[in-house]
Structure 1
């Protein structure tokens, strides 16, 4: 079977439009691929093999050189689907980004996403031209493509490693910010005409970033305000509304000739820090969509690549990847972070944590769609580079963090879900006490919730009961707290403070004991 856009070509060479029978086949194949990919996550977590490589392997196995014998070569369709998947991944990443972690390191992250990308593009392109022999146009395209850290890889890997908040916040913000300037650079280098003066290109990048940032923040703020003041009739509507607002930010930013990628990330970050109702359900929904986007994107990229054509591109990919990993990335980190007095241990880890994934491969389809000479070679080099250096960098990050003694030892945070009680002008907070929380052993009276908030029910070992002031809370308990609208935020802050600092949180500050994260 030959898969092309809009039709299925049979062995006789005739083309027939898609029918219900073809839909049934497609649904069966997609469901099997998803199940295999879900099982592969478990295998990759045990073996340390990055899951994105497993997904790429599934696509290759289904492709023309594999068992599936599916011939797929539509770079334009891959680019469109890849963009859509990247929007979902950035939305999921923005929803999980904590503003308290990003705010102190925001200038440094912005420097990495702008000046750091410029340094990385220059060094990598020079290596591709002088060491590999690529023409300057191809070298600049490769330099721009691989200079973007992959949001999916960073979000999935870093959140499994207990790192200081400054490191995690900087890397997550950088991966969310740097897609925008890199896309602009790749499109400019792939255009038919000559590249404009550098200052014109820089001005265009800054203008698009400014438009995207303004639209993203505005859409996110308006969406959060609306969701907090309008009680929807079903809790399942909140996740759908949040994702729709985030995607609308991307579309609005792109249609306004701004950076849609920056818009969706900032809008999602605003929504993620707005304390919306039914937040755990929204996070779970967004995480599921993010997984589907990653699986679909990597499998499609695996289908697009032809493994039998990669042999001649292994050495150039290794040389360019070595220049990127050993020279370009560390140099950009040192140049951008030294003025902010970031310790050398954190700079070392961030130099090694410049993870690449599907984003560079998707960006490598842009010159293919534009018909740039040698674009197939660029795509193959980028594909090999991503696979090899993901195998090297991803599994070694935890080991490097331990060697650099960069760890975060902090009490487990509470999971608090809020449901609005519109007619009562109040909120019902569902508070889960996790295993590491210092709320264990605290009496209900010692919570000292503000007036207008009270613990109304405790669920313990499947049994619910109304607590007394002397009831001692335990790990695994779930509390139902009713709070009036004016004290809702104060009640949540107090609960989190007790979760971090225990019954002495009042003497240790509003947020409990201060720990180095």
Structure 2
């Protein structure tokens, strides 16, 4: 690539990124899932509209898998283990047995109603059986729902990608006879168990390392944290285990540990997750040929209705029978099975493998995701209210988290009271610090105390102050003034200018 070509590629890439960010803002304001507008950006940039040509399904698959790894790491980092732990068992059943039931019901439906031969019917059923982690996290975390219910749906969406990918891979490679069910079960168990163990192991190694190693810059902690998640994904893939489950579980372990700069890490991971989603959906939008989509509308609608009204409810009902969940919760969980990027990515597997009819499957899956995201996503708050799960009796915990002060537009100041300073003997109230500056903590003789206005400062005290960024300089000047001339500094003409100290020193 020549230098002018590089500049042009960066120009197009930057423009697409900014257009996608604007699309995300627009989607939020009108209540649509962002993924739809990201896909639209990809279709518009493609060769049928603006003219960027991209039809390499193998490259799209590779890029999509890398993006999915980042999305799953981010999902794990932002998942609260306290919410997921009580529902690991039902989520695991939904993500394994539920996927199998959903595949069977969907395949039977499209075979009988659309006339697809069994191989393609099973492929389509496997491709669309996975719920989307990114869409689920984005929608559910904005709704006032019981924590147990939210944790169950989130955990299922994080776990079920791996079994789905395994089934799609098996059906893609089985071009003649389908493998024995025992072989499929053994493959699923191996990939889940080994991938899960590797994710947990890498996550624990990351926690131990980040607690003991002092990095030279704050910004390196988020990079290292996400890096451990990516290592878990890649290491599991090397041994033919599930990188998806490894990345998610590594993120859960790292995200729930008491690590330095947790807030900065989560902010970075969220930004990386957004970038991965944008890249993923735009790439998939580029891959699809818009002229072929109208012919896929009817089969997509039929397959989607089978999935929404039969396959998903049946799998949820059968899998949750042992867990005594109410019909209201089952109805909501059935509707909350949102589809997103994963089915479109999985639809590229048979295309890359050269399976007959795979091109038609890609168009059907693309239209199905768009149609049913438009249907399910915006209707989810209404469904939650209809079944009586939204808001009623839901108590949300106060959000307690460490945060970098620059996010709050604030500054943290530390002040020492050295021998000879006129700060000695001055009360906190007499400091008369500019609003909104406040003394939050005093460290004295190795102990800490929370001061009030009557607390008198002493030589050797260490003070922690919080102030706004705009008032930092004024607060520093006032502290210098009182340190030089005492509580009456202003009346004595002392304003704490730094230049005055330099002049006095000479």
Q: Tell me which interval the TM-score lies in, with the shorter structure as reference length.
A: 0.7 to 0.9
Of 113, 130, 138, the match for 2:95: 113
The aligned counterpart of 1:135 is 117
CA distance in 2, matches of 1:460, 1:410: 36
The aligned counterpart of 1:167 is 149
Q: 1:461 to 1:172 in 2, by over 3 A?
A: farther
The aligned counterpart of 1:205 is 188
Of 358, 363, 371, the match for 2:341: 358
Q: CA deviation at 1:395?
A: 0.5
Of 72, 89, 101, the match for 1:90: 72
Q: CA deviation at 1:171?
A: 1.1
- The answer to whether residue 294 in structure 2 is matched with residue 311 in structure 1 is yes
Report the count of equivalent residues.
421
Q: Contact 2:20/2:278 (CA < 8 Å) preserved in 1? A: yes
- The answer to whether residue 373 in structure 2 is matched with residue 390 in structure 1 is yes
SS at match of 1:316: helix
Of 263, 276, 284, the match for 1:301: 284
CA distance in 2, matches of 1:401, 1:461: 45
- Runs of 4+ in structure 1 deviating by more than 6 angstroms, as ranges, are 430-433
Q: Contact 1:415/1:431 (CA < 8 Å) preserved in 2? A: no
SS at match of 1:317: helix
CA distance in 2, matches of 1:460, 1:204: 67
SS at match of 1:364: helix
Aligned pairs for 1:1-12 (under 5 A) are none
- The answer to whether residue 210 in structure 2 is matched with residue 236 in structure 1 is no
Task: Report which of the two structures shows the higher radius of gyration computed on alpha carbons.
Answer: 2
Aligned pairs for 1:122-271 (under 5 A) are 122-191=104-173, 192-271=175-254
Q: CA deviation at 1:416?
A: 2.1
Show structure 1 runs of 5+ residues with no match: 1-17, 419-429, 434-458, 473-478, 482-517
Of 66, 73, 80, the match for 2:62: 80
Q: Contact 1:76/1:369 (CA < 8 Å) preserved in 2? A: yes
Q: Contact 1:414/1:431 (CA < 8 Å) preserved in 2? A: no
Q: Contact 2:439/2:451 (CA < 8 Å) preserved in 1? A: no
CA distance in 2, matches of 1:278, 1:480: 19
CA distance in 2, matches of 1:83, 1:340: 33
Q: Contact 1:414/1:432 (CA < 8 Å) preserved in 2? A: no
Of 45, 52, 57, the match for 2:28: 45
CA RMSD of superposed structures (Å): 2.1
Q: Contact 1:415/1:432 (CA < 8 Å) preserved in 2? A: no
Of 396, 401, 405, the match for 2:384: 401
SS at match of 2:402: strand
- Output the TM-score relative to the length of structure 2: 0.80
Q: Contact 2:440/2:450 (CA < 8 Å) preserved in 1? A: no
Q: CA deviation at 1:412?
A: 2.4
Show structure 2 runs of 5+ residues with no match: 409-432, 442-448, 454-462, 466-506
- The answer to whether residue 447 in structure 2 is matched with residue 465 in structure 1 is no
CA distance in 2, matches of 1:432, 1:374: 51
Q: CA deviation at 1:193?
A: 4.6
CA distance in 1, matches of 2:326, 2:19: 42
Q: CA deviation at 1:273?
A: 0.5
Q: CA deviation at 1:198?
A: 0.5
- The answer to whether residue 396 in structure 2 is matched with residue 413 in structure 1 is no
- Output the TM-score relative to the length of structure 1: 0.78
Q: 1:339 to 1:33 in 2, by over 3 A?
A: same
SS at match of 1:416: coil
Of 258, 274, 283, the match for 1:291: 274
CA distance in 1, matches of 2:177, 2:203: 37
